[in-house]
Amino acid sequence: MVGKKASQWIQQIVFVGPATLFFALIVIIPFILGLYYSFTDWNGISKTINWVGFSNYTHIVTKDPDFRNAFWFTVRFTVVGIIITNVIGFALAYILTKPLFTRNLMRTIFFMPNMIGGLLLGFIWQFIFIKGFAAVGEATGLSLFNLPWLGDRATSFWGIVIVFVWQTAGYLMVIYISSLNNVPKDVLESAEIDGATRWQVVRHIIFPLIMPAITICLFLAISWAFKMFDLNLALTNGGPFKATESVALDIYNEAFTNNRLGLGTAKAVIFFVIVALITSVQVRLTKSREVEL
Amino acid sequence: MDIQKRYGVRTLILEIIVVIVGLIFLIPFYFLLVNSVKSFADILSNSAGLPQAYLWSNYAKAWTAIDFPTALKNSLIVTIVSNLLLVLISSMAAYQMVRQPSLFNRILFFVFVAAMVIPFQSIMLPLMEMASKYRLNNSMYGLIVSYLGFGAPLSVFLFHGFVKTVPLEIEQAARVDGSSRYGVFFRIVCPLMQPMFVTVIILNTLWIWNDYLLPSLILSSPELRTIPIATYSFFGQYTKQWDMALPALVLGITPIIIFFLFMQRYIIEGITSGSVKG
């Protein structure tokens, strides 16, 4: 007979062991190794790995225009992307919680792009921008569609934003819809009786009440936008001339094109610190504005 | 009466606006489908209109060129096996962490949650190094093991939140009746956790099915390619050969769109409950 203590130990190992093992092997150990490698001149090929102190980090901050460009591109893209996708996601949710005939069909349509992964979406939209937009421009004569889409700095930036919004707005819409459905009808009705305009109702009643959903949607959109890789790779591959290279893509290129893995891991550590900071600040900020009914 | 009438007109206007926006959302699918059955010359000269001739053979060519059956099979194996193992190990871990909140388990849970902010890029390079050292690279096992490790934090977190809502009394009654803890977990707690199983499986399916970077780093043999990798390498070979590329893309998105149309209700529910707790 197994003692009580021993059987408790066995239970602990059986229940928690497998998940902890895989998690440690795949996430924790590589993460710690990455911290170590970021202080070395590791290149993946030579046997000797030398400790170089902070020189990778000082190199990135002072002598690496590619990383700086990638960083600014990612920041600009994140700010523009999250604002537009949240505004559209909320607007769609706001309209689609009204009693429309096509409500369910429209929800399906807006959500559908989200099923497709960034890589395939990027390729599909490459065709749309190159051939589709040109055809629309020819048919309508609108100069907007005759721009060299994906061909220069500005159009590639907006190209990625458009695809990002097209892909993610429907997901945020779903979260906003579930939150809007929880806003009590009587509060809205009494506001209307008191003579509040629609915008006042949205601004002063709906927004505070759906603050938890806004927190979640901002959090999700920031994390998608800041970590964007697949879409970037497939749609522009960072081009033209690295004008649309995200940080994630820059890390990838540093490691697999330039073979400077020590430098790549240092960039990845910086990337991690920024992602962790942004998400925790953002959650704290919006959480403090949540209102309980 | 007056208010009722105004309300109706307003709703109609909203309905028209939303339908127009919906059609705009669908335009990319129109371009994709309609051009996938055109000849190359037809695509170049007439990309907006309907095909002059429907070349269904484009699909046959793309089907063999990307070896679609193999890619589909690989994607299915990776997604299904990873999902089943992931829900099993994460629900067990979460259950133990909630029911035995020792200091060790509380710290462990904190580490799992904290690790959710780690982006893949931050573990990617050392992981590749380890994978080649321990022969995890270029194999399905290696890929599945990676998904188990990288997917565990979110899954454990979601199950953890759910187990807390399962009433302890039912379990205690079963224990009194002589069930072991394993029996209690599999026969009583698991059935109660069904909604969360669905949520976790949906979220992980969307992630794993569409993931490109991890499998592209781990798998190198053509016969192991999943759909995203097969599509990517196909694009490298047939750049701008749209009559081959577009049908390949349609094939690539078809399985997940079918999955969506059949599972829509569960997917929407899964996303809502998965995010509310995030």
Residue of B nearest to A99 (CA): B11
Q: Which of A15, A94, A286 to mutate to probe the B interface, most B CBs <10 Å?
A: A15
Residue A293 has pLDDT above 80, yes or no: no
Say which of B11, B96, B252 has its CB closest to residue A120: B252
C-alpha atoms less than 13 angstroms from C-alpha of B24 in its C-beta half-sphere = 11
Strand partners, B111: none
- For A1, the enclosing helix (H) or strand (E) is none
**Which residues in chain A (184-203) have CB-CB distances under 8 A to chain B?**
none
B265 lies in some domain: no
How much is the pLDDT for B208? 94
Give the tens place of pLDDT for each residue, A20-63: 999 999 999 999 999 998 898 887 777 778 888 888 898 888 88
* Helix, strand, coil percent values for chain A (each to nearest 5): 75, 0, 25
Contact B151, A27 (CB under 8 A): no
- Cα B174 → chain centroid: 36
How much is the pLDDT for B5? 46
Mean pLDDT of A9-18: 92
Residue A192 has pLDDT above 80, yes or no: yes
Measured between beta carbons, the chain A residues lying within 8 angstroms of B117 are: 272, 275-276, 279-280
Residue A200 has pLDDT above 80, yes or no: yes
Distance linking the first and last C-alpha atoms of chain B: 44
B11 lies in some domain: no
Give the tens place of pLDDT for each residue, A78-94: 999 999 999 999 999 99
Cis amide leading into A240 (omega within 30): yes
By three-state DSSP, how is residue A40 classified? strand
Residue B277 and residue B266: Cα distance in Å, rounded?
17
- Cα A136 → chain centroid: 30
Domain span at residue B96?
A: 67-237
Say which of B228, B259, B278 has its CB closest to residue A117: B228
Q: Which pTM does this prediction carry?
A: 0.89
Q: Do A26 and B43 touch (CB under 8 A)?
A: no
How much is the pLDDT for A183? 87
DSSP notation for A128-189: IIIIIHHHHHHHH--GGGGS-TTTSHHHHHHHHHHHHHHHHHHHHHHHHHHHHTTS-HHHHH
- Residue B103: other Cβ atoms inside 10 A: 7
Contact B128, B193 (CB under 8 A): no
Measured between beta carbons, the chain A residues lying within 8 angstroms of B228 are: 117, 119-120, 230
Instruction: Tell me what percent of the residues of chain A surpass a pLDDT of 70.
Output: 97
B132 lies in some domain: yes
Contact B92, A16 (CB under 8 A): yes
Which single residue is written with the structure tokens 């920031």? A222
By three-state DSSP, how is residue A72 classified? helix
By three-state DSSP, how is residue B212 classified? coil
Looking at the complex, does the CB of residue A207 fall below 8 Å from at least one CB of chain B? no
Residue of A nearest to B109 (CA): A20
Q: Do B126 and A109 touch (CB under 8 A)?
A: no
What residues contact A123, with CB distance under 8 A and at least 6 apart?
A234, A235, B231, B235, B245, B249
- How far from B128 is each of A152, B154, B213, B216, B246, CA to CA, in Å? 35, 22, 12, 11, 32
Q: Do A30 and B92 touch (CB under 8 A)?
A: no
Q: Do A15 and B252 touch (CB under 8 A)?
A: no
Count the domains in chain B: 1
| Interface confidence (ipTM) of the complex | 0.87
CB pairs under 8 A between A and B: 254
Query: At residue A257, what are phi and psi to the nearest 5 degrees?
Result: -100, -45
B72 lies in some domain: yes
**Domain spanning A61-287 has what CATH number?**
1.10.3720.10
Domains of chain A: which residue ranges?
61-287
Residue of B nearest to A278 (CA): B117
Residues of chain B with pLDDT under 50: 1-5, 277-278
Contact B106, B257 (CB under 8 A): no
Mean pLDDT of A12-25: 94
Q: Do A29 and B130 touch (CB under 8 A)?
A: yes
Mean pLDDT of A226-234: 90
CATH of the domain at B125: 1.10.3720.10
For residue B144, what are its two tokens? 């599945």
